[in-house]
A and B are shown apart, each in its own frame.
Chain A
């Protein structure tokens, strides 16, 4: 498949945004259980949510450029929510704005200080608007992760994507980059949660390394169901295409081939393995030891750049069965 930069930006940006929001709510829940110090509503939770909202908004902007014409966003994209019964893309188009609304409400309740408990469970657990909105937001974040991943995982012809590992990867990459960003945000705002978020970021990064490694292992050994024989229905062991029917390119030759050399694809794979997994873990560990405020930020930047490469590779490694029909330019 041809890696589209609009989709690379969309999936990595909203993944980090979702992860960051889940990290913030996790912090709030931990402080509720007196496992962490409670943080300031405005400078930490509201500001952090706005940061998540910015990432989600940038993702949405990237998504607009995936449309045929950006103007379709204003004139036609509203129809995109109508087919939620059958289309995961439609479900994502519903889940993304719903999640953004929830993040905005969460940020608003924290900013305007609507944190008086509605009720106190057993005299110990105060339940306020932010907790309810935060919990709903986390649920929507998971829903959005599943919708985004299922857009790819539901295409049964693309066997490299058609696996539960795709969903696991999207969730764990989002959580890893989100918690790394939460550590960076804590370091930047001088909050003593760098270690907490850093540890979780390392855990999610390691888990993501396991599931991504597993899917790469699976995809390297994949046996494609479609062959040239089933594609044209001729039962012969030796078939070669002599002509695809045209000399120039077409949509089929542009959209489904990445066009990069084997060396480039391997280099991208090596690059993302280093930048997504190894570099952030080393940086987060070093920041813990050195108490550096900049290393978590550098860790997030490195991991984000690595995730863009990972998403490029995700597209490049998927081989579409239609390519069987476009093997020979003539």
Chain B
């Protein structure tokens, strides 16, 4: 069985919001659209978004880090939003595990949004139906697109390649290997929702270099001092 998902690398995300805007651009004019904006030029603009980038400050000044946190539907393997829907408008696709809303069946009762602990469903103010990330279902399943473009708009837009897309059930896929090797984790694991989307943690990359590794002991370019050969074999001679 296939479970398509995103893997978001918090170590790489720079918080540029390119995924947010490209998501809105693609989806507002696509299958899931429109994603309506209300009062866009007034003091309190509001609108429907499938994807947000939030910022968190971790630590105490001056030892702080800013974590940019992209947030969208996690396409849970046990989606709590689906069984509560009274009309069957919310569903999880059997073939690829994407959680979707049928806008023609949704009655806008908002119950699914109550049942989602992550707050990733938004009621569209104009259509009055529940909307959410579709993982660009109209893109990833479009056989007329070249294969490398059959990926969500946010993934294609990310300038730092912080977003990976693939099948997390295939143990050899890029996303599965990344989750496995780079400590991929799920959000709010305490609820047993088994989110398909994973996040990769912040990590520090440090290499330790000792002084003797920077300077070869019997460097022939060292003219000023006598060659160490006079003092017997060095480690470099033995290794050779």
Interface residues of A, Cβ cutoff 8 Å to B: 1, 66-69, 72, 76-77, 79-83, 86-90, 93, 151, 154-158, 225-226, 228, 230-234, 236, 238-252, 255-256, 320-323, 325-326, 330
In the complex, residue of chain B having the shortest beta-carbon distance to the beta carbon of A90: B86
Interface residues of B, Cβ cutoff 8 Å to A: 10, 17, 20, 39, 43-49, 52-60, 66-67, 69, 71, 80, 83-89, 104-111, 113-119, 121-123, 127-129, 185-191, 199, 201-202
| CB pair B107 A157 closer than 8 Å | no
| CB pair B119 A322 closer than 8 Å | yes
| CB pair B187 A79 closer than 8 Å | no
5 nearest A-B pairs in the assembled complex, by CB-CB distance: A68-B108, A322-B119, A68-B128, A86-B83, A245-B52
| CB pair B56 A68 closer than 8 Å | no
In the complex, residue of chain A having the shortest beta-carbon distance to the beta carbon of B40: A248
| CB pair A157 B117 closer than 8 Å | yes
Partner of A242, one of B66, B110, B186, B202: B66
Please, which residues of chain B bring their CB within 8 A of the CB of A241? 54-57
In the assembled complex, the CB of A23 is this many whole angstroms from the nearest CB of chain B, namely 30
Known contacts A82-B87, A256-B119; A1/B114 CB under 8 A: yes
Partner of B118, one of A79, A325, A330: A325
| CB pair B87 A234 closer than 8 Å | no
Interface centre among B48, B69, B107 (most CB of A within 10 A): B107
Please, which residues of chain A bring their CB within 8 A of the CB of B201? 233-234
Q: How many A-B residue pairs have CB under 8 A?
A: 173
- 11 examples of A-B residue contacts, CB within 8 angstroms: A68-B129, A80-B107, A86-B83, A228-B56, A232-B199, A233-B187, A243-B54, A250-B122, A320-B114, A321-B188, A322-B119
Please, which residues of chain B bring their CB within 8 A of the CB of A231? 187-188
| CB pair A155 B115 closer than 8 Å | yes
Expressed in whole angstroms, the Cα–Cα distance for A66 and B104 within the complex equals 17
Main secondary structure of the interface of A (DSSP, over half): loop
Please, which residues of chain A bring their CB within 8 A of the CB of B185? 233
In the complex, residue of chain A having the shortest beta-carbon distance to the beta carbon of B105: A79
Please, which residues of chain A bring their CB within 8 A of the CB of B47? 250
Expressed in whole angstroms, the Cα–Cα distance for A158 and B111 within the complex equals 12
In the assembled complex, the CB of B128 is this many whole angstroms from the nearest CB of chain A, namely 3
Please, which residues of chain B bring their CB within 8 A of the CB of A81? 86
Please, which residues of chain A bring their CB within 8 A of the CB of B43? 248
Please, which residues of chain A bring their CB within 8 A of the CB of B199? 232-233
Expressed in whole angstroms, the Cα–Cα distance for A330 and B56 within the complex equals 11
Please, which residues of chain B bring their CB within 8 A of the CB of A66? 109
Known contacts A89-B109, A230-B188, A233-B187; A250/B49 CB under 8 A: yes
Known contacts A76-B107, A93-B86; A251/B122 CB under 8 A: yes
Expressed in whole angstroms, the Cα–Cα distance for A136 and B117 within the complex equals 38
| CB pair A232 B56 closer than 8 Å | yes
| CB pair A83 B87 closer than 8 Å | yes
Please, which residues of chain B bring their CB within 8 A of the CB of A156? 80, 191
| CB pair A242 B55 closer than 8 Å | yes
Expressed in whole angstroms, the Cα–Cα distance for A236 and B54 within the complex equals 17
Expressed in whole angstroms, the Cα–Cα distance for A158 and B20 within the complex equals 28
Please, which residues of chain A bring their CB within 8 A of the CB of B87? 76-77, 79-80, 82-83, 90
| CB pair A236 B58 closer than 8 Å | yes
Please, which residues of chain A bring their CB within 8 A of the CB of B84? 86-89, 154-155
| CB pair B187 A230 closer than 8 Å | yes
Expressed in whole angstroms, the Cα–Cα distance for A325 and B117 within the complex equals 10
Please, which residues of chain A bring their CB within 8 A of the CB of B122? 250-252
Expressed in whole angstroms, the Cα–Cα distance for A245 and B187 within the complex equals 18
| CB pair B123 A68 closer than 8 Å | yes
In the assembled complex, the CB of A155 is this many whole angstroms from the nearest CB of chain B, namely 6
| CB pair A157 B56 closer than 8 Å | no
Please, which residues of chain A bring their CB within 8 A of the CB of B83? 83, 86-87
Known contacts A87-B86, A232-B69; A67/B107 CB under 8 A: yes
Please, which residues of chain B bring their CB within 8 A of the CB of A242? 55-57, 66
| CB pair B46 A76 closer than 8 Å | no
Please, which residues of chain B bring their CB within 8 A of the CB of A249? 44, 46
| CB pair A251 B54 closer than 8 Å | no
In the assembled complex, the CB of A171 is this many whole angstroms from the nearest CB of chain B, namely 21
Known contacts A67-B107, A83-B88, A255-B123; A244/B117 CB under 8 A: no
Please, which residues of chain B bring their CB within 8 A of the CB of A255? 110, 113, 123
